[in-house]
Structure 1
Amino acid sequence: MSLPSFKRLNALGSAAGSIAVLGGFVALWWLASQSGWVNRAFLPSPAATLVSLVQGLAGGDLLAYTRATLQRMLLGWVLASALGIALGALIGSSRAAREWIAPTLEFIRPLPASAVMPLAIALFGLSGGMVLAVVAFGSMWPVLLATLHGLAQVHVRLREVSQALQLGRLEFIAKIGLPNAMPDILSGMRLSMTVSLIVSVVGEMIASQAGLGQAILLAARSFQASELFAGIVLLGAIGFASNAALALAERRLLRWQRP
């Protein structure tokens, strides 16, 4: 068997295994809801969840809530990526910046986004801008740390070449530093996308902003279990789709690394 055929067979086996695990999870969910292990007021059947999901996307408010969450997540992720790459490039290429800025960032970095939210509410009020600021803050760190790690891994020979060519700091970052750090940056951006989705949902719950977070919270308070599970399933689908899209983009952008 040739190597490409073996790889395709291995990929098909992995896909079949993933589908089998998902099917087993859904079967266990159905069994738990039908057997009465859990009250149906708290655990709807998969069929009831699917009906609520389809109806919500077709004629209900679920589609509008999804758009609001996606817009908030993507905008916060773009801001976080831009800030993370810019700060990472600055700190990673300047000793003075490392000495002045890095200690402050190390003090702020451990703060969870949920802990910063009350401060953001005091500054921006219960607004969409507040949620966006917290999303950008919370999802910036994976990109920033990945950029720093990638720049730190630049080979010493490449640094010597840049010095021999008398490249300025900006030229070194644009032509050598960031291209060398791109694998780390793209991995950090994938993690940042997941964080931005999580923080968006939490912010919507706390700040009462339109989105899937608010929809899930309202469904829980009104004991609408099927709507609650429909929102959770939709969040999982968004996370899966966004990660798959970024993984595909990463493979395309890093084709030059493959032999």
Structure 2
Amino acid sequence: MTLYTSTVRVQRPPSRVWAKIGENTLYAIGLPVILLVIWGIWGTLAPAKFFPGPITIFEAFVDTWIGPAFFTDVLPSLGRLALGIALSIVVGIVAGTLIGLNRWLRELLEPMLEFFRAVPPPVLIPVFVALLGVTDTMKVLVIVAGAVWPVLLNTIEGVRSTDSVMTETARSFALTRRERLIDLVLPAASPRIMAGVRQCLSVALILMVISEMFYSSSGLGWQIAYFQRNYLVAQMWSGIVLLGLVGVMLAAIFGLIERRVLRWYHGIKEVERV
């Protein structure tokens, strides 16, 4: 029995579908193109040493990242980022579900959770370095130390806010604890969980850069800091652009997964808007 996984589909006329696609494409591409044109004109008319034009940055991007640096710096950084995000999501959902389901455990752990949540993850980097050295494990743990909190806290609140009527309905159908967890609790909490995952992605990207800037000899963060120290401005901006592209890629992947996981939820919202 599944209480939350039914999908509501709203049929739209083909003309409306294509109009929506065109509108979304215009919004996605139009504004960036306009900003690049303005940036290029400004860079030509009023060149600035520390704010080069888009063409200069594009050339630096190709020279810097399309080559050996992609394998020595970009791929290792992306690997650490992916592992940190995966661990944050798994730990956050598992621990958040256990804490959300058990009131006594929540009351026991709440003071400690509030304490550790208030500690900025970057200040833990020296501790991790002292314990683990300058290793990939240290960098991944720095990411997890900060990125796990949005997932954990949103999962706790999502599990706690499960509809009481649906809970009683599940009990009346004699569902086991495992069935209630899979068919009711997790689907009901999934909007909050996905909101936490969205925040987790941006926090993880920030911490990946921070962990590499000061305690590393390779990676995206280290390269950007190196360019800044040596006044390689165009190369520094190309690294910032690359981080932005990584963020866009993460958002696109998340969007695909979110639409799959929350298909029932978006279907209900579509019905409410019609």
Q: Do both proteins adopt the same fold according to a TM-score greater than 0.5, normalized to the shorter chain?
A: yes
Q: Which residue of 2 aligns with 1:43?
A: 51
Shift of 1:109: 0.9
Q: Tell me if the contact between 1:219 and 1:228 (Cα under 8 Å) persists in the aligned partners.
A: yes
Deviating more after overlay: 10-19 vs 241-250: 10-19
Q: In structure 1, how many angstroms separate the alpha carbons of the residues matched to 2:241 and 2:249?
A: 12
Among candidates 91, 100, 103, match of residue 92 of structure 1: 100
Matches of residues 149-188 of structure 1 in structure 2 within 5 Å? 149-164=157-172, 165=174, 167-168=176-177, 170-188=178-196
User: RMSD value over aligned CA atoms?
Assistant: 2.0
Unaligned ranges ≥5, structure 2: 1-11, 269-274
Shift of 1:94: 0.3
Q: In structure 1, how many angstroms separate the alpha carbons of the residues matched to 2:220 and 2:42?
A: 26
Q: Tell me if the contact between 1:136 and 1:196 (Cα under 8 Å) persists in the aligned partners.
A: yes
Shift of 1:154: 1.0
Matches of residues 1-259 of structure 1 in structure 2 within 5 Å? 3-39=13-49, 42-164=50-172, 165=174, 167-168=176-177, 170-257=178-265, 258-259=267-268
Q: Which residue of 1 aligns with 2:5?
A: none
Residue type matched to 2:263 in 1?
Answer: R
Please give the secondary structure, in 2, of the residue aligned with 1:111. coil
Shift of 1:162: 4.1
Please give the secondary structure, in 2, of the residue aligned with 1:61. helix
Shift of 1:7: 4.4
Give TM-score scaled by structure 1 length.
0.90
Shift of 1:102: 1.6
Shift of 1:171: 4.5
Shift of 1:166: 6.2
Q: How big is each residue's C-alpha offset from its partner over 1:197-232, in whole Å with a ceiling of 9 and x where there is no partner?
A: 110011000212421101111111111122111111
Deviating more after overlay: 5-14 vs 108-117: 5-14
Q: In structure 1, how many angstroms separate the alpha carbons of the residues matched to 2:84 and 2:44?
A: 41
Residue type matched to 2:61 in 1?
Answer: L
Q: Number of residues paired by the alignment? A: 255
**Identity over aligned pairs, percent:** 31
Unaligned ranges ≥5, structure 1: none
Q: Tell me if the contact between 1:139 and 1:195 (Cα under 8 Å) persists in the aligned partners.
A: yes
Q: In structure 1, how many angstroms separate the alpha carbons of the residues matched to 2:180 and 2:128?
A: 36
Q: In structure 2, how many angstroms separate the alpha carbons of the residues matched to 1:5 and 1:255?
A: 23
Q: How big is each residue's C-alpha offset from its partner over 1:2-46, in whole Å with a ceiling of 9 and x where there is no partner?
A: 65533432342243134232122212322333233522xx22221
Please give the secondary structure, in 2, of the residue aligned with 1:126. coil
Q: In structure 2, how many angstroms separate the alpha carbons of the residues matched to 1:37 and 1:44?
A: 7
Deviating more after overlay: 26-35 vs 43-52: 26-35
Q: Tell me if the contact between 1:113 and 1:134 (Cα under 8 Å) persists in the aligned partners.
A: yes
Residue type matched to 2:20 in 1?
Answer: N
